[in-house]
Amino acid sequence: MSALLFGQSPSEFVDTPIHDENKSLAPISYPIKGITVVAPPKVIGGGAFRQLLNIHTEWVSFVPYGFTRKGEPDVKYNLEWQWWGEKLSGTETCIIEAKKLGLKVMLKPQVFMGGGWIGDMDFNSEAQWKNWESSYRKFIMDYLNIAIKHQVEMFCIGTELNIAMVKREVFWKDLIRDIRLMYKGKLTYSANWDSYEKVGVWKHLDYVGISSYFPLSDATNPTVGLLLKQWKPVIRKLKSFSKSQQKKIIFTEYGYMSVDGCAGKAWEIEKTKDRLRINHLAQSNAYDALWASLIQEEFWAGGFLWKWFPDGMGHEGYPEKDYSPQDKPAELIIKKWFNHSKKI
């Protein structure tokens, strides 16, 4: 089957080429300079990704969403009403167009829970858990088949499933084992910034993946110098954890809104965004400090900035305040670091 196009599973810290009898893919270089591209509502062509090349982007992450209602043990996806880029066919087209431009791809199927946060999802019975897991497995495997077909370089098995990852560890180990039988690209999981130490399956994956929204400073307009100082204890902790797991750490998500105090508690900032002023300097400083703090760290594999709107589509009504650096001063900061020659 097409999965056998991939060669050996990569080792923990040393990247080996993935190849078949006809092709040879280059080893991955670090840090990964990636951006999450929002699934477009309507059909797009490869031209929508060209602006990413202008800022030296090397990777893109596509995030097709599935949906779980609070208390309902299933995952619905590939629905008629969903945006084009979230459906199986749209996701596949986006991958094809990105690869035509030479971009590497991480596919990151993600579950959104109506009426709550997916990290809090829990069920009262074994039967409910089994039903949800069966549905989730189908969701993941349908998108994995696309990753296999198009030799996607990286696949994320889940995102911020805090309770499920701890309570149902056997399920995740079985899922990873079954994925490995078919897919030999790199695997990760996206743990929330405050829960990665609770995940028990890192040894079965290629990277420790973290949604990196570490709160650094509540200051309205923190300087780069202040943020560099605030990153130091976070980095010490991450470095120690990377060593204990013998895995590089990848930021499966990272980002800062272009508002006052954007380097603070992102989940609270999102709720108060209407009351906050646009602040491009604060956003630029936050992105600048993140890269300046981490680019020389061997444990850090880089990551995927959240987020980019292809052809300006897919925003939630406030692009001027959103995490995206697109068409803002912060775009030049990202371009600077993505053009940095440092490779680890």
Per-residue pLDDT band at 12 (split at 50, 70, 90): very low
pLDDT of residue 341: 67
Mean pLDDT of 220-247: 98
Residue 297: pLDDT over 50: yes
Token code pair at residue 131: 């039903």
Lowest mean pLDDT, pick from 26-40, 129-143, 222-236: 26-40
141 closest CA partner among 178, 95, 174, 166: 178
How many residues are recorded in the chain?
344
pTM of the complete model: 0.92
Per-residue pLDDT band at 26 (split at 50, 70, 90): low
16 belongs to a structural domain: no
Cβ atoms within 10 Å, residue 50: 11
187 belongs to a structural domain: yes
pLDDT of residue 115: 85
Provide CB contacts within 8 A for 323, sequence distance 6+.
255, 256, 257, 305, 306, 307
Provide CB contacts within 8 A for 128, sequence distance 6+.
73
Long-range CB contacts (< 8 A, 24+ apart) of 76-83? Answer: 77/109, 77/139, 77/142, 78/142, 83/39, 83/40, 83/41, 83/42, 83/314
40 cis-preceded (ω within 30 degrees of 0): no
316 belongs to a structural domain: yes
14 belongs to a structural domain: no
Cβ atoms within 10 Å, residue 238: 22
pLDDT of residue 45: 85
Residue 195: pLDDT over 50: yes
CA distance 232 to 214: 12
Local structure of 301: helix, strand or coil: strand
- pLDDT tens profile 32-84: 999 999 999 999 988 899 999 999 999 999 999 999 999 999 999 999 999 99
pLDDT of residue 303: 98
Average model confidence (pLDDT) across the chain: 92
Higher pLDDT, 341 or 195: 195
209 closest CA partner among 312, 293, 70, 108: 108
- pLDDT tens profile 256-275: 999 999 999 999 999 999 99
19 belongs to a structural domain: no
Token code pair at residue 216: 């650094």
Per-residue pLDDT band at 21 (split at 50, 70, 90): very low
Residue 109: pLDDT over 60: yes
20 belongs to a structural domain: no
18 belongs to a structural domain: no
Confirm if 222 and 46 have CB atoms less than 8 A apart: no
Mean pLDDT of 176-197: 97
Domain extent for 110:
26-338
CATH assignment at residue 135: 3.20.20.80
Token code pair at residue 265: 């508690």
Mean pLDDT of 285-301: 97
Provide CB contacts within 8 A for 271, sequence distance 6+.
none
pLDDT of residue 27: 83
Number of domains in the chain: 1
pLDDT of residue 343: 52
173 belongs to a structural domain: yes
